[in-house]
Amino acid sequence: MCGRYVLKTSMRQLQRIYGIPDDDTSRSEEWRPRYNLAPSQDAPVVRVLAGQRRLDLLRWGLLPGWATDPTLALKLINARSETVATKPAFRGAFRSRRCIVPADGFYEWQAGPSGKQPFYIHAADDSVLSLAGLWETWRSPGGEVLETYAILTTEANAWMRPLHDRMPVILLGEAVDQWLDPASSAGALQSLLKAPPEVSLKAYPVSRAVGAVKNDSAELIEPQS
């Protein structure tokens, strides 16, 4: 599961990383660095619309177009890679509405004698992680339009397993382009849904303050002894 993450990289930097023109960013003026992103909050995702890459703010927690209860989104923050192609809530988006969720890192909690200890997990070279995501558009009976996303997860690799049995799907190099390409086959997409190389991530313990959504500052990712 991936239930909290960090994105402190600026929108302008994300545009350069993902090759997005300056005029193809929606609501960029609303964005600020975030150190405790949580479900139901808005965050940048990279997606392809009309053949062009965009960086848009969408809400975390996928709400399928057929949903009648908007609170369903809180149950669909993650999509399991093993069932994403067949589960009704995700299969349509898997076919044609895929996105990248940029993250500087994410949190997981490890059970211990004194309770659960949060860890901050990030790229060993401090680069931005490209998490595989899905997005959807939902319209309420009153005409409200809401765009939402979910993060794909997969079975944890040996490095991650002491912390959690699941981890986000992290796409590397050409896999990013393949995930966003509307022409990618289902078989090619499924081959991307696996844990990243063992040496790509680092982790360290951080403050338990990250457990409260109201806390959102750089101090949350400072190492704790």
Q: What is the pLDDT of residue 22?
A: 75
Distance CA 25, CA 37 (A): 20
Three-class HEC string of the chain: CCCCEEECCCHHHHHHHHCCCHHHEECHHHCCCEEEECCCCEEEEEEEECCEEEEEEEEECCCCCCCCCHHHHHHCCEEECCCCCCCCCCHHHHHHCEEEEEECEEEEEEEECCEEEEEEEEECCCCCEEEEEEEEEEECCCCCEEEEEEEEEEECCCCCCCCCCEEECEECCHHHHHHHCCCCCHHHHHCCCCCCCHHHEEEEECCHHHHCCCCCCHHHHCCCC
CATH number belonging to domain 5-102+129-155+166-196: 3.90.1680.10
Q: Residue 119: what pLDDT? A: 97
Domain boundaries, the chain: 5-102+129-155+166-196
| Marked catalytic residue, from 29, 30, 99, 108 | 108
So what's the pLDDT on residue 112? 82
Residue 113 has a pLDDT of 84
Marked catalytic residue, from 2, 99, 136, 147: 2
Q: What's the average pLDDT block by block, 10 residues per block, for the chain (225 residues)?
A: 93 94 67 95 96 95 91 92 96 96 97 90 95 95 92 93 93 95 93 79 96 97 92
Give residue 50's identity as a one-letter amino acid code: A
The letter for the amino acid at 122 is H
Pairing relationship of beta strands 115-123 and 78-80 according to DSSP bridges: unpaired
Is residue 82 part of the annotated active site? The answer reads: no
- What predicted TM-score, i.e. pTM, was given to this entire model? 0.95
Task: Tell me, yes or no, if 99 is annotated catalytic.
Answer: no
